[in-house]
């Protein structure tokens, strides 16, 4: 009876040590990696939106400049 209790105690302690030393750190690393990846994706999305807005503004300015010019025609 006591031997069975000791064996189960040792098994339980080893299982807890395994979980605390290996499984939890892996879960924490995975969570941190996912958070960092999402943050980087958000940064890229923001940069792409900013680039698109800049491009649209420059295209709008180019369109205005083209329409303001009137071809010269000589009057006789």
pTM of the model: 0.58
Please tell me whether residue 10 adopts helix, strand or coil conformation.
Answer: helix
For the ranges 22-26, 55-59, 71-75, which has the lowest average pLDDT? 71-75
In this prediction, residue 17 carries a pLDDT of 95
SS3 assignment, position 44: helix
Query: Does the pLDDT at position 28 exceed 90?
Result: yes
Rounded CA gap, 50 and 9, in Å? 60
């Amino acid at each position: 009876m006591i031997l069975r209790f000791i064996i189960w105690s040792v098994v339980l302690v080893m299982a807890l040590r395994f979980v605390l030393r290996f499984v939890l750190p892996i879960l924490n690393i995975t969570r941190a990696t996912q958070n960092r990846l999402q943050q980087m994706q958000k940064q890229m999305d923001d940069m792409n939106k900013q680039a698109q807005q800049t491009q649209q503004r420059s295209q709008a300015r180019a369109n205005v400049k083209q329409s303001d010019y009137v071809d010269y025609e000589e009057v006789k």
